[in-house]
Structure 1
Amino acid sequence: MNKFVLPAIAVAAALGAGGWWYSSQTTPAAADSTNAQTASPVQAHELDFPIGNPDAPVTVVEYSSFTCPHCANFNQGPYEQLKADFIDTGRIQYIKREVYFDRYGLWAGMVARCGGGERYHGIAELLYEQQREWAGANDPAQVANNLRRLGRQAGMNDAELNTCLEDADKALELTEFYQANAEADNIRATPTFVINGQQYHNMSYDEFANVLTEKLGE
């Protein structure tokens, strides 16, 4: 489980490779709060791309980072089962929200959103599936090129991808959205899940399914 504290993010233009960089200043991480309750309502925002049933009695908000290995493991394992059993069947609504540990995670989020809601979840799957390959380079220019390659796999061209990566307004909007959500929902680790207002940390499929079944009253 990756732990973090809320950074004060300053978005600035990158000279060269990737698009937009940000820097952070952090303080020591607070103690884990597994049973924390959120004060904010669970509802979709215009920057969210919900899937499942918007009228379902249960909404899950997943807070994950595209550069977090535990998040990749969850999305390549338990999430696939949850999608088949609870999301695709219309039993719940599911919302993915990004956490930005580093500039690479922000760039990945910008590429994932480049194709809008229709492509977002497919690109997110690619990012998690190939996380080691695209995020493993030490060179920011190589990481940016790796992300462009994934974007091309999703059907976009370099001109579209460069426009997305160089969109300073979107970078700022996303970082502010992330900060506001993380503070409101008391997010200190990834992956973290807010299920009908209650916070949970990384779970196996069976644990997750038991929580959802209980909240659904099944």
Structure 2
Amino acid sequence: MIRPVALLIAATLFALSTLAVASLSPNAAQAQETDSASIVEMTQGAADAPVTIIEYASFTCPHCATFHLETYPRLKADYIDTGKVRLIYREVYFDRFGLWASMIARCGGPEKFFGISELIYKGQKDWTSAGGPTEIVDELRKIGRLAGLDNDTLEACLQDGDRAQALVTWYQDNAKADNITATPSFIMNGEPVSNQSYADFSAVIDAELARQ
């Protein structure tokens, strides 16, 4: 999924202006200032792993879902869980639905983030095609409840306009800094790496490990 950076920024601004809480809860206030420094990096693996991979992905991107359902489990077992790779997952917002999914995934904190993300990717075809915005956000709520979040917690997350603003600013800053124009995109020890099969991806990781 390739989009010019200008379109990415326009899309995220549209996402924020049409945030679910704004349409479903007229009294929700939007933040006047944002603090993207408050956004927690979602990571897996040892902090001192010799290889750090930053993944940029959108919860509405089919290729991202394929990566997470097919390649990521092997990557985690072979490299992350063995202390060779540290993964940093950063969300990309092409649309408001991806932003909402991110807010649900982050609702349980770092401990639940990757588990909820897996549920979101597994159900991507279903929730993205559920209908209009109201139906889609309802499906995302169901995923949150399936992950053990209660209704009050979910609503608090979805109605956090300050956090939504901060997430969009954080995404824009990251995308600009790393020149992200497609998802999934990967930065391995500071160098861009394309999305590819597990065999090819692991070969790139092994080559990087050999250089350390």
Length-normalised TM-score, structure 2:
0.86
Alignment-derived partner of residue 55 in structure 2: 62
Contact 2:52–2:188, Cα closer than 8 Å, also in 1? yes
SS at match of 2:65: helix
Task: Say which of 164, 175, 197 aligns to 1:204.
Answer: 197
Alignment-derived partner of residue 70 in structure 2: 77
Q: Provide the C-alpha distance between the structure 2 equivalents of 1:152 and 1:176, rounded to a whole number of angstroms.
A: 28
Which ranges in structure 1 are unaligned for 5 or more consecutive residues? 21-44
When residues 4 and 72 of structure 1 are mapped into structure 2, their CA distance, relative to the original with a 3 A threshold, is: farther
Alignment-derived partner of residue 161 in structure 2: 168
SS at match of 1:63: strand
Alignment-derived partner of residue 3 in structure 2: 3
Aligned residue type for 1:122: G
How much has 1:158 moved relative to structure 2?
1.0
Alignment-derived partner of residue 23 in structure 2: 15
- In the alignment, structure 1 residue 50 sits paired with structure 2 residue 43: yes
Q: Provide the C-alpha distance between the structure 2 equivalents of 1:206 and 1:2, rounded to a whole number of angstroms.
A: 23
Detail structure 1 runs of 4+ shifted over 6 Å in the superposition. none
- Residues 22-41 of structure 1 aligned to structure 2 (within 5 Å): none
Contact 1:52–1:94, Cα closer than 8 Å, also in 2? yes
Contact 2:186–2:194, Cα closer than 8 Å, also in 1? yes
How much has 1:135 moved relative to structure 2?
1.2
SS at match of 1:50: strand
- In the alignment, structure 1 residue 124 sits paired with structure 2 residue 104: no
Task: Please state which structure has a larger fraction of its residues in helix.
Answer: 2
Aligned residue type for 1:3: R
Q: Give CA-to-partner distance per residue, 1:52-71, whole Å, 9 cap, x none.
A: 11101110000000000000
Alignment-derived partner of residue 192 in structure 1: 185
Aligned residue type for 2:78: D
Q: Give CA-to-partner distance per residue, 1:23-48, whole Å, 9 cap, x none.
A: xxxxxxxxxxxxxxxxxxxxxx9521
* Identical counterparts, % of pairs: 48
Alignment-derived partner of residue 99 in structure 2: 106
Aligned residue type for 2:9: P
- In the alignment, structure 1 residue 86 sits paired with structure 2 residue 94: no
Task: Please state which structure has a larger fraction of its residues in strand.
Answer: 1
How much has 1:131 moved relative to structure 2?
0.3
- In the alignment, structure 1 residue 182 sits paired with structure 2 residue 175: yes
Q: Provide the C-alpha distance between the structure 2 equivalents of 1:159 and 1:184, rounded to a whole number of angstroms.
A: 36
Q: Provide the C-alpha distance between the structure 2 equivalents of 1:138 and 1:81, rounded to a whole number of angstroms.
A: 33
Q: Give CA-to-partner distance per residue, 1:131-189, whole Å, 9 cap, x none.
A: 01111123100001000000000101111101100000000110000000000000000
The number of residues matched between the two structures is: 194
Please report the RMSD computed on the Cα atoms of aligned residues, expressed in angstroms: 2.0
Which ranges in structure 2 are unaligned for 5 or more consecutive residues? 29-37
Q: Give CA-to-partner distance per residue, 1:112-149, whole Å, 9 cap, x none.
A: 00000000000000010110111112310000100000
Alignment-derived partner of residue 131 in structure 2: 138
